[in-house]
Amino acid sequence: MPMRKVMKANEAAAWAAKLAKPKVIAAFPITPSTLVPEKISEFVADGELDAEFIKVESEHSAISACVGASAAGVRTFTATASQGLALMHEILFIAAGMRLPIVIAVGNRALSAPINIWNDWQDTISERDTGWLQFYAENNQEALDLILIAFKVAEDERVLLPAMVGFDAFILTHTVEPVEIPDQELVDEFLGEYEPKHAYLDPTRPITQGTLAFPAHYMEARYTVWQANENARKVIDEVFEEFEKRFGRKYQKIEEYRTDDAEIIFVTMGSLAGTLKEYIDHLREKGIKAGAAKLTVYRPFPIEEVRELAKKAKVLALLEKNVTFSVGGALFQDFSRALINESEKPKIVDFILGLGGRDVTFKDLDEALAIAQKALNGEEFNEVNWIGLRKELL
Amino acid sequence: MAESPFKADIERVQKEYSEKMTPGAIATIPGSSVINKTGSWRVFMPEFNRDKCVRCYLCYIYCPEPAIYLDEENYPVFDFDYCKGCGICANECPTDAIIMVRETK
Ligand code: SF4
Ligand code: SF4
């Protein structure tokens, strides 16, 4: 029987790692994800997880150890956030380029300066070009489930890419919710043993990994990472379907809420989706035709699903906790790319909000709604809007 | 210069070296390093004086490449396909049988 326990997303991530049975976990503690490796080290110390737990002196070493272990052919896991993920940056490219299915749990946190330990998505968003798959959890259950899903997708022979699963700092990492822990046997059946076919350490079948590529080969090597990302689209759908069959919880790349007759669809990721659904109910009571959509998968970017979503609305209002300077938010860029050649497309309005742990309230969403309504009515509107700014400080 | 003892390997790898991209750009046929000739970035090259050599093999042991092998009479022979010109052999040689000279060609 699956067990229900009240826990933080950090604990849920540690439980997911335990269920996935990685052979090597290398981690360096960083707020707000410290509890993930702490809990895993307890599992290992108590003999509940048969794995090598490597204590390292930095996140750069943590991911390097994971690359080494994964290249030797075992399932590998780590957790980090913010500056820690940024410190992993160069190795993230290496992990993707070497096609190593490592999974990282990330407690999404703002980047310095100024130092800020609270939530936004700038850390993972900044790594969107590394080739890693990216999933975003709305709640603690999703944090657990998406890590299992991430392993399954990452290790698929058609994909073989590393994956990160983001869950919002403090809003999820440190907040308790009931989480269903699936049975070990079911997870074993779902994930199976990781059988490395391309990257392994075996003196009887010698290979060279981490090779040098001259200009004659580098582009082709990068293209295989591109192709693997493209392949991941289909594999993710298949894995979502299988997960639902086995565990009963349904996942989609884009999850919609009351979008059927919506004129304005708000789009977001992570825990903000919870607030947003409440807000949509509130708008519907007032007779405003609004809906919500949540991206569970951000890389590969769900281009087809975005096009389908766009057909349903006159305005897409993007709510994002990150900045791409001089452009707006990263989602704004991605949505623009997905829709640029569509003959009929909704207006896209971008909202940057909730940076560095700033609460996103109904008042902020009202501010966004007012601008989205201007776009709906054909009035002039700002394409990029910073919501909830304390103008008195500027 | 005597012929490299790796000649057969070099030919095998050149023949078999896969042109197809593998996942992770992994080289599935080991030994590709023998076809990537690392001697091309050399600025200085070792010049060997056989008369001074006492066949102590320090150069042979210390060469990091290893680009020195021994001929039938156990004198060092330098493989300039891979010698990177680091000068370690010249530095280690107790009799100054090796000196580093500027690469001329
Ligand atoms: S110069 Fe360096 S690489 Fe060349 S033979 Fe001497 S030790 Fe080896
Ligand atoms: S170190 Fe000098 S003396 Fe010794 S084997 Fe080499 S060249 Fe000869």
**In angstroms, what separates the C-alpha of A209 from chain B's closest C-alpha?**
5
Residue B41 lies in a domain: yes
**In angstroms, what separates the C-alpha of A131 from chain B's closest C-alpha?**
12
Residue B1 lies in a domain: no
A187 neighbors A127 (Cβ within 8 angstroms)? no
Question: So what's the pLDDT on residue A324?
Answer: 97
Q: How many domains, chain B?
A: 1
Model confidence pLDDT, tens digit, residues A345-378: 999 999 999 999 999 999 999 999 999 999 999 9
Model confidence pLDDT, tens digit, residues A84-122: 999 999 999 999 999 999 999 999 999 999 999 999 999
Nearest CA in chain A to B29: A207
- The partner residue sitting opposite B21, judged by closest CB among A206, A208, A221, is A221
A123 neighbors A76 (Cβ within 8 angstroms)? no
Which CATH number characterizes residue A388's domain? 3.40.50.920
Quote the CA–CA distance of A39 and A155 in Å, as a whole number: 24
Model confidence pLDDT, tens digit, residues B43-57: 999 999 999 999 999
Selected residue with higher pLDDT from B11 and B49: B49
Closest CA to A107 of A79, A128, A83, A87: A79
Q: Residue A351 belongs to what domain range?
A: 256-393
A75 and A221 in a single domain? The answer is: yes
A232 neighbors A300 (Cβ within 8 angstroms)? yes
A153 neighbors A163 (Cβ within 8 angstroms)? yes
**In angstroms, what separates the C-alpha of A299 from chain B's closest C-alpha?**
19
A14 and A140 in a single domain? The answer is: yes
A100 and A201 in a single domain? The answer is: yes
Q: Which long-range contacts (CB under 8 A, 24 or more apart) does B6-12 make?
A: B6/B34, B9/B34, B10/B34, B10/B35
A58 and A204 in a single domain? The answer is: yes
Q: Residue B77 belongs to what domain range?
A: 37-104
ipTM over 0.90: no
- The partner residue sitting opposite A97, judged by closest CB among B24, B27, B33, is B24
Quote the CA–CA distance of A279 and A309 in Å, as a whole number: 19
Which of A247, A278, A308 is at the close of a domain?
A: A247
Residue B89 lies in a domain: yes
Is residue B58 lining ligand 2, measured as CB closer than 6 Å?
yes
Question: So what's the pLDDT on residue A54?
Answer: 98
AA identity, residue A154? A
DSSP string, A37-81: HHHHHHHHHTTSS--EEEE-SSHHHHHHHHHHHHHTT--EEEEE-
* pLDDT beyond 60 at B18: no
Residue B51 lies in a domain: yes
Spatial CB neighbours of A325, under 8 Å, sequence gap ≥ 6: none
Which CATH number characterizes residue A43's domain? 3.40.50.970
CA distances from A31 to A63, A78, A365, B85, B99 (A): 17, 14, 28, 48, 57
Give B29's pLDDT tier (boundaries 50, 70, 90): confident
Task: Please provide the average confidence, as pLDDT, over all residues in chain B.
Answer: 85
Q: How many domains, chain A?
A: 2
Give A211's pLDDT tier (boundaries 50, 70, 90): confident
Question: So what's the pLDDT on residue B1?
Answer: 47
Chain A within 8 Å of B8 (Cβ-Cβ)? no
B62 Cα–ligand 2 center, Å = 10
Residues of B in contact with A217 (CB under 8 A): 21, 25
Whether B24 sits inside 8 A of A100 (CB atoms) is yes
Chain A within 8 Å of B21 (Cβ-Cβ)? yes
Model confidence pLDDT, tens digit, residues A289-324: 999 999 999 999 999 999 999 999 999 999 999 999
A111 and A175 in a single domain? The answer is: yes
Which of A247, A275, A309 is at the close of a domain?
A: A247
A242 and A304 in a single domain? The answer is: no
CA distances from A331 to A86, A109, A371, A375, B27 (A): 20, 17, 18, 18, 37
Which of A212, A247, A282 is at the close of a domain?
A: A247
Quote the CA–CA distance of A30 and A12 in Å, as a whole number: 17
Which CATH number characterizes residue B80's domain? 3.30.70.20
CA distances from A239 to A189, A245, A358 (A): 13, 10, 34
A117 neighbors A91 (Cβ within 8 angstroms)? no
Residue B42 lies in a domain: yes
Residues of A in contact with B23 (CB under 8 A): 99, 160, 198-199, 224, 228
Task: Please provide the average confidence, as pLDDT, over all residues in chain A.
Answer: 97
Chain A within 8 Å of B20 (Cβ-Cβ)? no
Whether A207 sits inside 8 A of B23 (CB atoms) is no
A87 and A175 in a single domain? The answer is: yes
- Please compute the mean of the pLDDT values over residues A229-246 and round it to a whole number: 98
Residue B62 lies in a domain: yes
User: In percent, how much of chain A has pLDDT > 70?
Assistant: 100
A264 and A183 in a single domain? The answer is: no
A208 and A261 in a single domain? The answer is: no
Residues of B in contact with A224 (CB under 8 A): 21, 23, 25
A233 and A159 in a single domain? The answer is: yes
A105 and A51 in a single domain? The answer is: yes
A233 and A260 in a single domain? The answer is: no
CB contacts < 8 A (A, B): 46
Give A49's pLDDT tier (boundaries 50, 70, 90): very high
Q: Which two tokens stand for residue A279?
A: 């807000």
Quote the CA–CA distance of A229 and A141 in Å, as a whole number: 25
User: In percent, how much of chain A has pLDDT > 90?
Assistant: 96
